[in-house]
Amino acid sequence: MTDSETRSLAERLHGLPVLFATALLLPAMAALPAGEPLSLARHLPLQALFETISSVAAFLVFVVGWMSYQRRAPIAVLLIAATFLGVALFGLGFLLSDQHTTEPEALFGASTAPLFWMAARLLAVLGVALAVLIPWKDRPTSPQTRSLLLSSLLGLVAGTFAVILFGREDLLSGLQSVVGVAAFQDGIHYFAVAIYLLSAGVLQFHRRSIPNIDTRSLSVAIAFIVLASISFTLQATTNDTFNLLGQVYKLFAYYYLFRAVVISGIEEPYRELASARARLRATLEALPDIIFELDRRGIIHQMHSRYPHLIAQPEDVRGRCLLDFLPESVQREYHKLLDDIDRNGRSGAYQYKLEADGETRDYEATGNLLRDPETPETRYIVIVQDITQRKRLDHELRIAAAAFESQESICITDEAHRTLRVNSAFTRITGFAEHEMIGGDPAMLLPEDDRAGFRQRMDERMEDRSRWRGEIRLRRKSGEVHSQLLLVTAVRGEQGRVRNFIYDYIDISALKKAETRIQQLALYDSLTGLGNRRLMEVRLARSIEQGHQSGHYGSLLLINLIQFKKVNDAMGFSAGDQLLIQVAQELRGIAGQDGNAFRQGADEFALIVETAAGDARSAASLVQATADRVFAALNRAFSISGEEYYNRCRIGATVFDGPSVDGAEVLGQAAIALHQVKADPDRIFSFFDPEMQQVVAQEQTLESELRRAIAEEQFLLHYQPKVNRDREIVGLEALIRWQHPTRGLLSPGDFVPAAERTGLITPIEKWTLEQAIAQLARWRDHDAQRNWSISVNVASSQFYRDEFEIHLDSLLDHYGVDARQLILEFTESTLLHDVHAARDRILRLAKRGVRFSIDDFGTGYSSLAYLGRLPVHELKIDRSFVKDLDREPYNAAIVRMVIEMANILGMQVVAEGVETEAQYRFLTQQGCELLQGYLFGHPVPVEEINDPADDQESVP
């Protein structure tokens, strides 16, 4: 048991052991045979001693209770104090009564003693009962109430004295005639016992607290008074042992009654003072501020600080002048502060800067006048706060406020997505004022069809992350719907609990329009309006996936117009265009709302047919029916430039199910089927023959050979120059080659697809990456090549592998290469695979210095909104756009738009496949900074690299 627990137990048991021990004396004496009472000669002095002690104790109760609470005396304390003043006076009357005399004329005779005794007992029981039983309010009494109470008590005592001294004969005879003096005296004792027991019960069972009285001591005192009263009722004579035992009990009672008042009146104030000092000391220790007590000259009389090293130890600065520790500029501020206190009794806040802990920190001083009657001279309390952090926070808040009022619209909500505040840009863009949004959910700005899905997607994302990003449709107050990029950030408080959400809206309407325009140019045929080959590949992949999920077969039909070249040659290109437009209209009608009709090439079209057939035979029947519709629509006469031209077509078709094929395979099968039709002039329709797929066996052989090539390192790197506008080499693209033992040098197209399908691309790309970085390391000592960069293609399957980043970091550290010379190229499809994961990985590697390039840009379908937020350094225009710049106007339009967009986004543009001077001139005129293609060099081993700028000097 701890010391505090021991003290607490002692307080709860206060007086009880003594009470129980002495209480046992009463039954013990009652059980003993009655002895001879003491002689009066021996008893009276002993009784007088007890009464004297009791009276003194009662008087002390009055003095302590009355005098200790002069300023804050509650009525209950004053009542007990006044009561025991009367008890003390009645005790004095008892002591003055001469119990030896029998003279009736004596003022204080033997007959007055019992009357004073009974008066004291009655007054005591009534005073204690009033103090305990009445629920007094804990508030100080007024001086008038104190005077009235004391006057009433003294009047009562004086009246009682007069009755006892001058009317005792009539009083005694009256009592004797009614019940007898002894019986009346016993009745008083029984009445006192009953009232005291009732009071004790109220204290213990009702837990009543008497203001400013120790109720535990009062309860023990009442218990001793009860024992004393019982002892007095058991006495046979006034000089037997029960009378003496009652006197002892009464002394104990007065002792504990004295404690009940003293603890509250004397000890308790000291305890409160000690507690207040302890709380003050703890408060000061918790304060980070420096506190000085100064006089007018600045002399330090007291000092408190948790950081005494900032000035000195308190004992070292007492008696010294505070201004001696401060520079002159700060001294002036302190003089102003003291003058301010002299005028107003307190000062405002004075701020200044000081060098502390090796840095400049901000401080704020405030002061108050110390009004202490014990201190003759004027003193000041000065509190110094370190406000450096507060000023930093204020500065950050100002920055945050400025950022909040930026051009981007921002909405702040609580954890339940109830709007708390919006900025002016939000009001300007949405049309909703702040008071219209307060309390509402920002989801109200979405079209109704989008709201449920939006909240579900965002909540799922927020469960394990603190951010959600996505494109939304925002409905303005006017009803207009615009595309927005929305970033929702969760602000978490203590224990990770979400306190607020910040909605950041970025208007991407212009970007979406540009994206739509680019996709229109990139994915649709400008003449017929049908989807081009790129779009067909996307739709074909989607159809395969849907077939895989539903278990249904699909089909692809390739349609070739027979002798279309003769139309162009005989009737002109305009006539050929008219025919193509009419054919496209017919195919669009057959494809229906799905829009699965495409223009593959100059005279070739395609149809994707999604059937509901669950087997190949049924699917083939449906495909045959579709082919018959195509023949009926196209094998007829068309009006071209006022003349009729009879058109004929042929079709190659294949059926597929999802699990067994991919888009390239299906397209290859349809192409083979069409080739079969072209090879036989008598045929116009053919299904793909599965027996022609010898490529399967070839791929199996290729896989085995690839494994051997990896083990024997049969690969090598060729490099193709990447030049600037002046044809100077600024970097190379690393292109892998396979030195096949029997087939010779193979390009990536001959083995990389097979490597990707078999999973062998991982070791191949690891080897490629290490060889490229090793080459950069070898160039460190060559002035001509030391600043060149090397671009390395990275497949999607490798980029998202966890070990890719680890492997790349280890290579850069091992070879000590500047990461800025390494450019990783990936296609737009790699970005689409997982935009958020790609962004996180790119950001980490970009911090290392690695640069990134999007290869074949324009052939994919990524969002330009995401592109603007990725740290991508280069866009490589696909060679398909560069190839036909002089023949396809829309290709030139795409190239211009990509270059302009890259300039806006701060990216460099690399044009691939530059093979002619005309292409070079067009690209440089449009602002293309970097070029790559056969015009500047074929992919060759590194030692065969020649600078095209040197060759250009010899060109006339």
Contact 880, 855 (CB under 8 A): no
What pLDDT does 770 receive? Answer: 92
Q: How confident is the model at residue 653 (pLDDT cuts 50, 70, 90)?
A: very high
26 vs 199, residue with greater confidence? 199
CA distances from 620 to 101, 540, 542, 613, 908 (A): 146, 17, 20, 9, 50
Give the bridge partners for 822, in sequence order: 790
Of 152-161, 264-273, 754-763, 824-833, least confident by mean pLDDT is 264-273
Indicate the Cα dihedral angle 732, 733, 734, 737, nearest 10°. -120
Distance, CA of 626 to CA of 280 (rounded, Å): 95
Q: Is the pLDDT of residue 315 over 70?
A: no
Q: Which position has the token pair 């615009």?
A: 482
Q: Is 706 exposed, middle or buried (0-12, 13-18, 19+ CB in 10 A)?
A: buried
923 membership: H or E segment, kind and range: helix 917-925
Q: Which long-range contacts (CB under 8 A, 24 or more apart) does 68-73 make?
A: 68/261, 68/265, 68/266, 68/269, 69/140, 69/212, 69/265, 71/140, 72/140, 72/212, 73/140, 73/141, 73/146, 73/212
How far apart CA 286 and CA 278 sit, in angstroms, is: 12
Predicted pLDDT at 299: 85
pLDDT one-digit tens code per residue, 384-427: 888 878 888 777 666 666 666 666 788 889 888 899 988 888 88
3 Cα distance to chain centroid? 43
Q: Residue 710: which of 750, 794, 767 has the closest Cα?
A: 767
**Cβ atoms within 10 Å, residue 605:** 27
Are the beta carbons of 211 and 138 closer than 8 angstroms?
yes
Count CB-CB contacts under 10 A for residue 684. 16
Over 60: is that where the pLDDT of 708 sits? yes
Q: What 3-state class would DSSP assign to 34?
A: coil
Highest mean pLDDT among 356-365, 495-504, 774-783, 868-877: 774-783
pLDDT greater than 60 at residue 70: no
**What is the sign, positive or negative, of the torsion defined by CA atoms of 862, 868, 871, 875?**
positive
Sign of CA dihedral 723, 729, 734, 736: positive
Cα(113)–Cα(270) distance, rounded to whole angstroms?
41
How many other β-carbons are positioned within 10 Å of the β-carbon of residue 923?
24
Nearest CA to 799 out of 768, 824, 764 is that of 824
What is d(CA 650, CA 674) in angstroms, rounded to the nearest whole number? 8
Q: What is the pLDDT of residues 696-707, one digit of tens each?
A: 456 668 888 989
Q: Which helix (H) or strand (E) holds 664?
A: helix 663-679
pLDDT band at residue 243 under the 50/70/90 scheme:
confident
Residue-wise DSSP of 395-438: HHHHHHHHHHTSSSEEEEEETT--EEEE-HHHHHHH---HHHHT
Residue from 614, 613, 615, 598 nearest 670 by CA: 598
| Mean predicted lDDT score pLDDT of the chain | 80
Inter-residue contact 479 to 445 (CB < 8 Å): no
Write down the pLDDT at residue 169: 76
Phi/psi of residue 10, nearest 5 degrees: -65, -35
Give the length of the chain: 956
The answer to whether 262 and 236 have CB atoms below 8 angstroms apart is no
Task: State mean pLDDT over 139-168.
Answer: 82
What pLDDT does residue 773 have? 93
Percent of the chain with pLDDT over 90: 14
Query: How far is it, in rounded angstroms, from Cα 304 to Cα 890?
Result: 81
Stretch 183-212: mean pLDDT: 71
Q: CA 459, CA 456: separation in Å to the nearest integer?
A: 5
Mean pLDDT of 231-243: 67
Q: What CA–CA distance (Å, rounded) separates 730 from 813?
A: 23
By CB atoms closer than 10 A (0-12, 13-18, 19+), residue 885 is: buried
| pLDDT surpassing 70 at residue 9 | no
Residue 2, pLDDT > 60, answer no
Long-range CB pairs of 327-332, under 8 A, 24+ apart, other chains included:
327/354, 330/354
Average pLDDT of 928-944?
A: 91
User: In 3D, which of 625, 602, 603, 604 has the Cα closest to residue 555?
Assistant: 625
- Where residue 105 falls among pLDDT bands split at 50, 70, 90? low
Strands 908-911 and 930-931, sheet pairing: parallel
Pairing of strands 643-646, 637-640: antiparallel
Whether residue 567 contacts residue 645, with contact meaning beta carbons closer than 8 Å, is answered with: yes
Is the pLDDT assigned to residue 607 strictly greater than 90? yes
Res. 931: pLDDT tops 90: yes
- Alpha helix (H) ranges present in 13-111? 16-23, 25-31, 40-67, 75-96
* Among 560, 546, 557, 635, residue whose Cα is nearest residue 591: 557
Strands (DSSP E) contained in 684-783 are: 685-687, 715-724, 729-740, 744-746
How is the beta sheet containing 597-599 ordered, strand by strand?
597-599, 604-610, 553-561, 649-657, 685-687
Q: What does DSSP assign to residue 784?
A: T
Count of CA atoms in the C-beta half-sphere (13 A) of 822: 28
Do the Cβ atoms of 489 and 502 come closer than 8 Å?
yes
Q: 428: pLDDT confidence band, cut at 50, 70 and 90? A: confident
For residue 557, the cross-strand partners are 607, 653
Q: What is the pLDDT of residue 297?
A: 85
Beta bridge partners of 876: 910
Chain centroid, CA 280 distance in Å: 35
Higher pLDDT residue, 720 or 66? Answer: 720
Higher pLDDT, 601 or 78: 601
Provide the strand spans (E) within 455-548: 467-475, 481-492, 498-507
Angle among Cα 711, 714, 716 to the nearest 5 degrees reads 130
CB 574 within 8 A of CB 660: no
**What is the average per-residue pLDDT within 487-505?**
83
**C-alpha distances out from residue 495 to 492, 498, 499, 650, Å:** 8, 9, 11, 70
